[in-house]
Amino acid sequence: MRVLTNRDFLAGLMCLVLSICVLWQAQDYSLGTLRNMGPGYLPRVLGCFLGALGVLIMAFSAKTATDFPKINVRALVCITTGIVVFASLMNPAGLFISTVTLVFLCGLSEKKFKPVRLALISLALCLMSYLIFILGLNMPIRLFPWSF
């Protein structure tokens, strides 16, 4: 029973399940040949490699058997909420407000709340996101609610 609570075994099992899902979905696409690859070629090859990797991880998980770590419920709730709120605010509020909200909601997952540190992180993330997505990639993302 200790094997089922090993996180390496569970990670290998998840790789195997994901591999089966990819292979099942890719069967609707034509395979083609090695010289003329079809749209199903790459998903099938990657699905097979992922499945093999999952089996290897599961096979070697007995050597690294440790107890499953305690789940940090506070972090799980705060980070999940932050991601959902970020996705919900992105269109109406813009990149700046969404990113600041995300950082502060995720910052609530720590035991000691550090608002100055979180403000600096959120400003740095806003600047990097602006430079990469809006200026660099020219994506039509509003920066503030009153933008475009």
Cross-strand pairs, 32: 37
Which is more confidently placed, 3 or 23? 23
- CB burial of 8-37 (b: ≥16 within 10 Å; e: otherwise) equals bbbebbebbeebeebbeebeeeeeeeeeee
Q: What backbone torsions phi and psi does residue 52 show, to the nearest 5 degrees?
A: -65, -40
Would you state the pLDDT for residue 138? 85
Task: Judge whether residue 134 has pLDDT over 60.
Answer: yes
Is the pLDDT at 126 greater than 80, yes or no?
Answer: yes
Q: How confident is the model over 15-25, as pLDDT tens digits?
A: 999 999 999 99
Report the distance separating Cα 86 and Cα 97, nearest Å: 9
What contacts 84, CB < 8 A, 6 or more positions away?
none
CB 15 within 8 Å of CB 57: yes
Q: Kindly report, residue by residue over 31-51, the tens digit of the pLDDT.
A: 777 788 888 888 899 999 999
